[in-house]
Amino acid sequence: MQPIFSIAIDGPAGAGKSTIAKALAERLGAIYLDTGAMYRTVALYMHDADINGAESIARAVNDPKIEVQFVNGKQHMLLNGVDVNDRLRTPEASMMASRVSAVPAVRERLVALQREIAAGHAVVMDGRDIGTKVLPNATLKVYLTASCEVRAERRFAELKESNPNLTLEQVLADIVERDYNDAHREASPMYQASDAIRIDTSNMNRDQVVAAIIDLLLKALK
């Protein structure tokens, strides 16, 4: 029987959190919980219902039925019983997701659901406040970071094919702005948990980071 454990990965934009978290989950036979997809599902409901403004969103947050299902290891989001995975990356979902994630009532509902899933499974989660707010008792907390320049280069490499007019300078400016916004937002600002282990990935590849975290997990489980 597989042990139940939780790995919380936090850090700034472009640090490689999602890439590392997915690779870890695959190596460890754990669930990778895409918390961003959960916020996008709420965002879709608000968009479709034409609900705007923080107060209106807060009042409506408990109206939709939101479920997370795993099929062959892949996460599926159900909104009122309908699989909405193919709509989660649309521009309207992206635009609305940043709005709904700033509403404390939305975070409260989804954090409760995330904790419920983590209680019964081996999970890997990444975000901005997983170790500080979502899973304060996680088996292992990791704070992944890298220099702004390295993070900008990584993000630029990901985006340049789909956006040929994008410049490295624009990506760097966006990362600096996101760092500031994440650290200063009212609802769950980003900061390193006091018991998180900081890993600077500036000079590490994916396999090196994954191996380092697995080693830390094995020590934590002893």
Confidence (pLDDT) at 67: 96
> Residues 194-205: what's their mean pLDDT?
94
Per-domain boundaries in the chain: 6-221
**Domain 6-221, CATH class in plain words:** alpha beta
What Cα–Cα distance (Å) separates residue 84 from each residue in 65, 108, 160? 12, 22, 28
Distant-in-sequence, close-in-space partners of 130: CB < 8 Å, separation ≥ 6: 8, 9, 10, 35, 138, 141
**Angle, helix 91-100 to helix 35-48, in steps of 10 degrees:** 100
Residue-wise pLDDT for 84-99, tens only, equals 999 988 877 877 888 8
* Chain Cα centroid distance, residue 13: 10
**Rounded-to-integer distance, Cα 181 and Cα 33, Å:** 24
H and E: helices and strands count for the chain: 8, 8
Q: Could you tell me if 79 and 93 are in contact, meaning their C-beta atoms sit under 8 angstroms apart? A: no
> Residues 166-194: what's their mean pLDDT?
84
Mean pLDDT of all residues in the chain?
Answer: 91
pTM across the whole model: 0.84
The percentage of the chain sitting over the pLDDT mark of 70, rounded to a whole number, equals 98
Confidence (pLDDT) at 77: 97
The percentage of the chain sitting over the pLDDT mark of 90, rounded to a whole number, equals 67
* Residue predicted with more confidence, 182 or 18: 18
Confidence (pLDDT) at 1: 57
